[in-house]
Structure 1
Amino acid sequence: MAILTNTFNTLHNTAPFSQIKNEDYIPAFEEAIQKTKDEVDAIVNNPAPPTFENTVEAMAFSGMTLDRLSSIFFNLHSAETNDELEKIAQKVAPKLSELSNDITLNFDLFERIQKVYEQRADLDLSTEQRTLLEKSYKDFARNGALLQGEAKEELRKIDAELAVLKLKFGENVLAETNAYQLLIEDEADLAGLPDGLIEAAAALAESQDKKGWLFTLDYPSYIPFVTYADNRALRRELALAAGRKAFQDNEYNNEENVLKIAKLRFQRAQLLGYDTHAHFVLAERMAQSPDKVKAFLDDLLQKAKPAAEREFQELSDFAKKLDGITQLEKWDGAYYAEKLKQERFNLDDEKLKPYFQLEKVLAGAYETARLLYGLHFKEVHNLDKYHPEVQTFEVSNDAGELVAIFYTDFFPRKGKRNGAWMTSFKPQYHYQGIEERPHVSIVCNFTPPTASKPSLLTFQEVTTLFHEFGHALHGMLADTTYPGLSGTSVYWDFVELPSQIMENWCYEEEALALFAKHYQTGENIPMELVEKIKESASFLEGMATLRQISFGLLDMGWHGTDPRAISSIKDFENQQFASTKLYPDVAENAMSPSFSHIFNGGYSSGYYSYKWAEVLDADAFAYFQENGIFNREIATKFKESVLSKGGTEHPMTLYLRFRGQEPQVEPLLKRAGLLK
C-alpha cells in the first residue's frame, strides 16, 4: 500500500507499475483520502487570519498524493482494465465523490477563501495567483458551498450516484465492444478487404482456435471493414452491431443509465441555481451560454447543410451508377465515399499506408516538435511500463534539460477502451523551489503489425496521432506554478486548439517529407500523392461537418433542456437529428447509449468544442502558413502564449497575445471548401 502513497523510489519518480498489485488500491485510496482530509483540516483550523498563501495556495497543493494515485488507477482503468479493477472503480468512485463534496461543501473552508477573495483588489497577486483565487472561489460557489442543510445532502447523493453511473456506462460500452465478433469462413466474403486486415483477422481467429477470419468492433478492424468490404450484407451486419452497443436487451444496456445521468445532471444544476446542466457547464467556457453554442452550431449548419446535401446526392448517384443501389444506407457511406475518392483523386488509403509506418510517423511527429519547439525525444528502457507494448521516452530541450516523461500505447487489446486520448500520470508544477516536470501519455487503437508487415497507418490514423501528440505537447510544455492550472487544465472549448492545430502539418509537403517514406524502399511519398492528399482534404467535408454538428446538437439536447419528460432515447435522438439527417434511420440503433464522450468522458455540454476549436486552429495555422510552417519565431510565440500557460489566463487573452487579432471563421470555411 505504501508504494502508492509515498514518493516513488524510481527514476524521475515515475509510476512503479510492475510493483503495484490490485489489492494495494483500496487501502492506498483510504490512506490518501484521509491524508487529504487532514491537509484540508489543517487549512480550516489554522488560527492565523486567512491569506492567499495559507488558504488558497495551501488548497492548490493539497491532495497531491490522492491525485497521483487517482491518475494511475483511472488511466489503467481505461487502458489496461480487468474485472477486478472495474470492481475497485465501483467502490472507489463514490468515496472520491464524497471527499470532493466534503471539501466543496465545507462552509468554514469556503469562508476562508471568500475572505481572501473579498480582499483581492488590495492583494499584490501575479496574474496566475489572481486566476487561482477566482477559480477557487468559483469552484466552491458553483459546487454547492452556499447551499444549506438538506440541499447539501441532496447534492452529495446526486454526485455519488453520478460517479457510479458514469463508470457503469463506460464499462458496459467496453463489454459490448469486446462481446461482438464476426467470423467469416468463406474466403469469397473477404472481397475488397485490404491484405493487412485479412492477415490480422486470420491471426485473431487462429489465436482463438477458430477457422477463418475474425473481425471485431475495435476501430482498426471495424473502420476498414465497413470502408472496403464488397459484401454489403456483412457491412450491414457489422454496422448494426456497432450501432446497437449498449442498446440491446441484455445486462449491458445503457438506456436507463443515460436517462438517469441526464436527469441527475439537470437536478444538480437546478439545485445550484442554473437553468440546465449546459448553463452550469458553459458559465466556465469561452462560449459562455447554451444560446451562444446553439447560435454557433446553427450558423455552421446553415453554411454546411447545402454542401452536405449536394455531396450526399452525389454519393447516392455514384452508388446507383456503380452498383444499382437505390437507397444509400449508413453502412454504405464509408464504402462508396472511398470508391468515389479513388475515382476522383485516384487516391486509395491502402496505397498511402505503405508510406505511413507507425515508427516513422512517430519520429516525424518528434522531428516536427524539434523544429518548432526545440524538443528532443529519446527512447529509454529503464522506466516501468503497465504493458509490454508501451514505449517510454525522456523529452529534453535544446539545453539538455528534462522537459517531460512520455509514454505511448498504440494498439487495441481486450482491457483497453476504444478511441484515442492523451492523459497524464503526473502534472507539471513548481513547489517549494523545485520544478516538477510532467509525465504524459498518449493512448490509441491503431492498426497493429502483422507477421509480414509493420504497423502501417491509414491517413486518418496519422492525423489522430498528430492530434493526440498536440495534446501531449500542451502537457509537456506546461510552465505554471499550480498543478490545477497546468497543461491541459484549460477551458474545455480551448483544449482542442493545441491538438487540432497539429493535424495541419500532416497535409504539408515540408512536414510529410520528414516521415512519409515507403516502409520497404525508404522512398519519399511521391509529390502527386501529396497533392492528392491536399486536394482531398475537403472531400465530403460538408457531410463530415454536418455529422459533427449533429453530435453537438445531441449533446446540447440532453444537457441544454429539461430532460425529465424523456422516456424513449430513440425518439429523443430522432428529434435532435432532424435538422442534420441525411441517411434513413436505423430502428435498432441508437447513439446515446455508447456516446462515451458525453456520458463517461468530460464532454457533456462540450461536444461543440471540436468545431469551436477548429475555428481557432484554422486561424492559428493560417498565421504559420503566412510565415512558414516551421517558423521558430511563430512557434515560440505559440509556445509562450498558449502551450506553456495552461489555464493561468482567459483563453481569448492568450489567443490574442499569440495572434494579435480575434479568430476569424473564414480560414476554417476556406479549408473545408464551404466558402462559395
Structure 2
Amino acid sequence: MKLSSRPAWTCANCLRQQQRLSRRCLVTASTAQGAAAPATLQHPTFRPISKAAPSILHDDRTLRQVFDSPDFWKDFSAKRKHHYGGRSAGLLQNRYLTRPEGFQDFANITLQKCAKIVGNVLSYNSIEELGRVAKDLDRLSDLLCRVIDLSDFIRSVHPDRKVQIAATQAYTAMFEYMNVLNTTTGLNDQLKRAADIPEIYNAWSEEERTVAAILIKDFSKSAIDLPDVDRQAFVDISNEIAQVGTDFVDNIAAEQSTLSFESSRLKGMDPVFVRQLTRWGSVSLPTVGMPATVALRTVEDAEIRREIYMANRTSSKENLHRLETLLRRRAELANLSGYDSFAHMTLTDKMAKSPEAVTSFLDALALDNAPRLKDENVELLDIKKGDARANGFPAGLNAWDRDYYATQLMSSMRSKARTPDFLSAYFSLGTVMQGLSRLFHRLYGIRLVPREPLPGETWNADVRRLDVIDDHEGHIAVIYCDLFERQGKSPNPAHFTLRCSRRIEEEEMREAAQISSQMGSIFETAQEAANDGLATSFNPRDGNALYQLPTIALICDFALAPQNSSGRRPTLLTYRELTTLFHEMGHALHSICGRTALQNVAGTRCATDFAELPSVLMENFASAPEVLALYARHWETDAPLDAERIKERVEIDRRMQGAETESQILLGMLDQKYHSNLPLAWTENGTGVESTRVYQDVWAKYCAVHEPPGTSWQGFFGHLFGYGATYYSYLFDRAIAGKIWRDVFQRTAGGAVDPAAGNLYREEVIRHGGGRDGWHCVAGVLKDGSGVLAEGGQGAMETVGKWGVHV
C-alpha cells in the first residue's frame, strides 16, 4: 500500500515551520500524530481515575505543580517506580518495547496479524463475509499504523541510538509490506464488490460507508485500476515527484545570496546587527533570512530597501527548474489517473471538491477583505507622506515600503502598551495547563489528570503523562506532554496521534486470548494483548464495547527557567507561545473526543481542509476574558491578570490582519493556478519563465500593491510540495472557526465557558472525527437551516468566503 504524505494544517505561525507529519496507512488516513496509550496494567493493578472521584481539586492543584515545579515532578514521577524493581513497562506502555529488539517482535507479530486479515478478505464470498470487508480493512490499516506511526515518532524523539535504529527497522519493514498491499488488486476488488451489493451497503453504518469510500478513492489514487504499463508509469512519476519535491524544498535559495553596502547606507538598522555583518568596512547582507527581514523593516533608504526586496524575492533559476518539473509531473500524474488536473485529483475528497469551488471561496474572501486592506494601506501611505526621506519616490506605496511603514505603525502601538514580559508573568506553563483542564471541564465535562509514568514508559524524564477523564465515560484518552526544550530536539510545535480510537471486536479478543496464553510473561490478560498493552476502556456510548484509547503526544520547545538561589522559576510563556499551546491542544481535543468505532475516521483523520478547524478555533479561547479568569494569575503573587492587557496585545497582533489575509489569498490562488493543467504546456528544460509569468499574473490581479517586474518569489514557496492544491485550507478553516466563535461561543455573555455551547460543538463537530461530512458538521453547529452549507459544493465555499476572516 502507498504511504502518502498529508501534512496537517497549521496556524499562521506554524506555516513558517514544517511541523506535523501525517500519513496514510493502507492508503488510508493515518496521521502520524501522537503516542500510544497505556493499558490496564495488572502489575501493579492500574485503575483509571474514577469519573466520580472526589479528588478533582487535588488533581487540579497537582496539574499545575507537575509543570511548574521540577522538584514536585521528580517526586511525583518516582511514586510507581518501586513496583517494577527496575523492569521496563515498555515505551508508551507497549509491552513489546521494553528493549530495542522489541520493535522487531512488534513488527513481526503485527505482520502475522495482517497476513491473516488479507487472506480472509481475499477468500470472502458470501454476503455475510463480504459485509465484514470495511471493518477488516480498517483493522488492517490500524495494525499498520500502530507500528508505523509509533516507530516513526519514537525514532525522531528518542535519545538512544539503538532505539532509533530498531524503530527505523520496524518502520521500514511495515512500509515495505504496505507497498506489497498496494499491488494486491484483490483487496480493492473485494471492497468494491461489497460496496456494490445494496444488501451489504445499506447494512453498513455511516462510519463503515465513509471508510469504504475513503479506501476506494485512495486505491484509485494509487492507480490500482490502471493497466500494468500505466500503473508502472504512475509509480515512476510518483517516485520522481517525491524526489524532485524534496530537492525543491531542500534547495530553496535566492539567485543572489548576498548584497554589499557601505554601512552608512543601512541607517535605521540596529548598529550592533550591522557591525556583525561588516567585514573590511563593507556590509555583506544575506538576501534571505532574518538579516534581510530586519533590513526591510528598518532601513531608512528606500532605494536600498528596493534592492534588498528584489533580491529577497528572486529565486535561483535551478530551483525554479525543480519547481516547474514538480508541477509538470503532477499534472501528468493527474492526467494518467483520469483527472483534468492535479487540483481536481487532490480535491475530490476534500470539503472543497473542486478547484473552481476553491477559487469561488478565495474570490469572496478577497472581496470581504478589500475594505480592511484599503484602510490599512491608506494608513501606511499617510505615514509615508509624513516621512521626509520618501521624497524620491511617488506618493504611493511600493512593495518595499509596506514592511517598513508597518513596523513604524506597530512600534507606535507597542510603545503605548506594556511590554510582552509583563504578560508572561501570568502564563506559567502549569497555570496554563490548569486553565486548559478547567476550560475543557466546563465546556465538555472532561479534565486532564496527571499520572505517574511507569519505568521505561517515556522517552525522556521531562515528559509528563496526563489521563483524560470524562465525567460520564471515565478514562477516554492519554496525552504525553513533551513541552520543554532540550539539545537536539526539534523546535517545531506538533501534535501526534500514535494510536487512534477504535472498537475492539470479539474476534480480536479471541485472537488476543491466544496471544496472551502464548506470551503470558508479556501480557497477563487478553484485554492487554488486544491493544499491545496500551490503554483500553469500555465505551458507554457504544453499548459498553471495548475501545482502544486515543493516545497523543504534544511537542513544544518552551524554555526552562534558569536555577537561582531561591530555586527555579516556572517556565513562563509568551503570548505567542500561549496561543501555540492552545492551538496544539485544539488538535488534541479533536483526537480525544473523536472516539469513533473505526480508526480511519478517528479524531484528526478527516479532510485536509477540515483538520485545522478545532485548532484554529481553540486559539480564540486563549484571550477570551472569561477563559483568562480561569487561569491567568501571576506566578508569584497569584494576582489575576487584567483582561484589558491581553486585549491591547490582541489588537496589536491583528492590526495588519488585512495584509496578512491578502498574502494568504495570493498564495492560495497561486497554488491553484500551479496545480491546474497549465504546466502540461511548459517545456521540459524551463528556467522559471513559465512559473514566473503565472506568479506575476496572480499578483497583478489580486495584490493591492504592485509587485515589481523581475521577481520570482515562487521558488521560495516550499509549501507547494507538502500542501499542493490545498494551501487555501488555512484561510478556509480560519473563516469557519471565526464564524463558530462568534455565533456559538460569543453569542451570549460568558459564552466561551458555556456548557451548552461546548456540548453543541462537541456533538456536532469534534465527536465525529472524520466520520461525518464536514459540511454537515458546520451546518449542525451553526444550526443552518438554509441547506446551502449542508449541500456543500461551490455555493457553500462562496458562503464561507463571504464570512471573511474575523474574530
TM-score range (shorter-chain normalised) is: 0.7 to 0.9
Summarize deviations over 1:340-383 as a string: whole Å, max 9, x none.
4325x636544433333333223222221111112221233415
Question: Which structure's residues are more often helix, by fraction?
Answer: 1
C-alpha contact 1:349 1:459 (8 A) present in aligned 2: yes
Structure 1 window deviating more from structure 2 (537-546 vs 74-83): it is 74-83
Q: Which residue of 1 aligns with 2:755?
A: 632
Q: How does 1:268-347 map to 2 (within 5 A)?
A: 268-315=333-380, 317-318=382-383, 321=386, 324=389, 328-329=400-401, 332=404, 335-342=407-414, 346=417
Q: Which residue of 101, 107, 128 maps to 2:207?
A: 128
Deviates more, 1:474-483 or 1:432-441: 432-441
Judged with a 3 Å threshold, the aligned counterparts in structure 2 of structure 1 residues 121 and 311 are, in CA distance, closer, same or farther, namely farther
Structure 1 range deviating more: 322-331 or 634-643: 322-331
Equivalent position to 1:617, from 737, 740, 744: 737
Q: Point out the more displaced range, 621-630 or 40-49.
A: 40-49
1:171-214 C-alpha deviation (Å, 9 max, x unpaired)? 778x99xxx9xxxxxxx999699xxxx9xxxxxx9xxxxxxxxx
Shift of 1:161: 4.1
2:546 to 416, 428, 434: 434
1:421 is aligned, of 487, 494, 500, to 494
User: Quick one: distance in 2 between partners of 1:421 and 1:40?
Assistant: 34
Q: How does 1:518-597 map to 2 (within 5 A)?
A: 518-533=634-649, 535-536=651-652, 538-564=654-680, 565=682, 567-568=687-688, 573-578=695-700, 579-580=702-703, 582=705, 590=713, 592-593=715-716, 595-596=718-719
- For 1:414 and 1:539, the matched residues in 2 are separated by 36
Secondary structure of 2:503 counterpart:
strand
Q: 1:145 to 1:18 in 2, by over 3 A?
A: closer
Return the index of the structure with the highest Cα Rg. 2
Cα distance, 1:262 vs. partner?
2.9
CA contact (8 A) 1:471 1:488 kept: yes
1:550/1:580 contact within 8 Å kept: yes
Aligned to 2:185: 107
Report the CA distance between 1:668 and its aligned residue.
4.5
Aligned 8 A contact 2:437 2:446 in 1: yes
Instruction: Tell me, yes or no, if the aligned pair for 1:373 and 1:635 is still in contact at 8 Å.
Output: yes
**Quick one: distance in 2 between partners of 1:412 and 1:133?**
42
Return the structure number with greater relative CO, CA threshold 8 A, min gap 6. Answer: 2
> Is residue 633 of structure 2 the alignment partner of residue 517 of structure 1?
yes
Deviates further, 360-369 or 91-100: 91-100
Worse-matched range after superposition: 560-569 or 162-171 = 162-171
- The separation in 2 between residues aligned to 1:580 and 1:92, in whole angstroms, is 49
- Residue 553 of structure 1 and its aligned partner are, at CA, apart by 1.9
Is 2:560–2:571's contact at 8 Å kept on the other side of the alignment? yes
Q: 5 Å matches for 1:67-78?
A: 67-76=145-154
CA distance in 2 between partners of 1:515 and 1:91 (Å): 44
> CA–CA distance in 2 between the matches of 1:650 and 1:121?
23
| 1:40-51 correspondence to structure 2 within 5 Å | 40-46=118-124, 48=126, 51=129
Equivalent runs, 1:342-421 vs 2, <5 Å: 342=414, 346=417, 348-382=419-453, 384-399=457-472, 401-410=474-483, 415-417=488-490, 419-421=492-494
Find the counterpart in structure 1 of residue 766 from structure 2: 643
- For the Cα contact (< 8 Å) 1:191–1:231, is it kept in 2? no
Contact 1:477 1:639 (C-alpha < 8 Å) held by counterparts: yes
Q: Write the deviation string for residues 135-183 of structure 1: whole angstroms up to 9, x where unpaired.
A: 333332343232112111122233344455556666778x99xxx9xxx
Partner of 1:202: none
- Deviation string 1:523-564 (CA, Å, 9 cap, x unpaired) is 222243244346556422211111221221232233234334
CA contact (8 A) 2:121 2:133 kept: yes
How does 1:443-482 map onto structure 2 within 5 Å?
A: 443-446=555-558, 449=561, 454-482=570-598
Aligned partners of 1:83, 1:555: CA distance in 2, in Å? 40
CA contact (8 A) 2:349 2:607 kept: yes
Quick one: structure 1 residues 490 and 274, their matched pair in 2 at CA, closer, same or farther if it must change by over 3 Å?
same
Between 1:430-439 and 1:415-424, the stretch displaced more is 415-424
Q: 1:143 aligns with which of 219, 222, 246?
A: 222
Matched, 1:54 2:174: no
| 3-state SS of 1:464 partner | helix
Tell me: CA distance 1:66–1:190, structure 2 relative to 1, closer, same or farther (3 Å): farther
Query: CA–CA distance in 2 between the matches of 1:584 and 1:51?
Result: 62
| Cα shift readout 1:477-525 (whole Å, capped 9, x = no counterpart) | 1221110011111122222221122122123111112232333433222
CA distance in 2, matches of 1:262, 1:287: 21
Pair 320,645 (structure 1): closer, same or farther in 2 beyond 3 Å:
same
- Give the Cα separation in 2 of the matches to 1:545 and 1:268: 32
Q: CA deviation at 1:266?
A: 2.1
Structure 2 unmatched runs, 5+: 1-34, 40-87, 259-266, 277-285, 506-544, 790-798
Question: What SS does structure 1 have at the residue aligned with 2:608?
Answer: coil
Describe how 1:181-220 pairs up with structure 2 within 5 A: none
Distance 2:458 2:296 in 1: 36
TM-fit CA distance, 1:67 = 0.9
User: Please, what is the CA RMSD of the aligned residues?
Assistant: 4.8
TM-score if structure 2 supplies the norm length? 0.66
Name the CA shift for 1:520/1:573 in 2 (closer, same or farther; >3 Å).
farther
Q: 1:422 to 1:583 in 2, by over 3 A?
A: farther
The alpha-carbon deviation at position 460 of structure 1 amounts to 2.9
Residues 593, 229 of structure 1: alpha-carbon distance in 2 compared, 3 angstrom cutoff: closer
Q: Give the secondary-structure state (helix, strand or coil) at the position aligned to 2:633.
A: coil
Amino acid at match of 2:556: C
Please name the residue that 1:183 is paired with. Answer: none
The DSSP-based 3-state class of the residue aligned with 1:378 is strand
- CA displacement at 1:612 relative to structure 2: 1.5
In the alignment, residue 721 of structure 2 is paired with which amino acid?
Answer: F
Counterpart mapping for 1:25-40 below 5 A: 36=114, 39-40=117-118
CA distance, structure 1, for counterparts of residue 344 and residue 116 of structure 2: 34
SS where residue 546 of structure 1 aligns? Answer: helix
Identity of aligned residues (%): 22
Stretches of structure 1 that go unaligned for 5 or more consecutive residues are 181-187, 199-204, 206-215
Moved more, 101-110 or 401-410: 101-110
Deviation of 1:26 after TM superposition, in Å, equals: 8.4
In 1, the alpha carbon distance for the partners of 2:803 and 2:162 equals: 46
Match of 2:776 in 1: 653
Give the TM-score normalised by structure 1: 0.77
Give the CA deviation at 1:427. Answer: 0.7
Q: 1:464 offset after TM fit, Å?
A: 2.1
Aligned to 2:622: 506
Distance in 2 (CA, whole Å) between partners of 1:227 and 1:385 is 44
The alignment of Structure 1 onto Structure 2 pairs a total of residues equal to 624
Give a deviation string over 1:595-615, Cα, whole Å, max 9, x none.
24x423xx3222211221223
Amino acid corresponding to residue 544 of structure 1 in structure 2: E
Q: Which amino acid aligns with 2:372?
A: A
SS in 1 for 2:333: helix
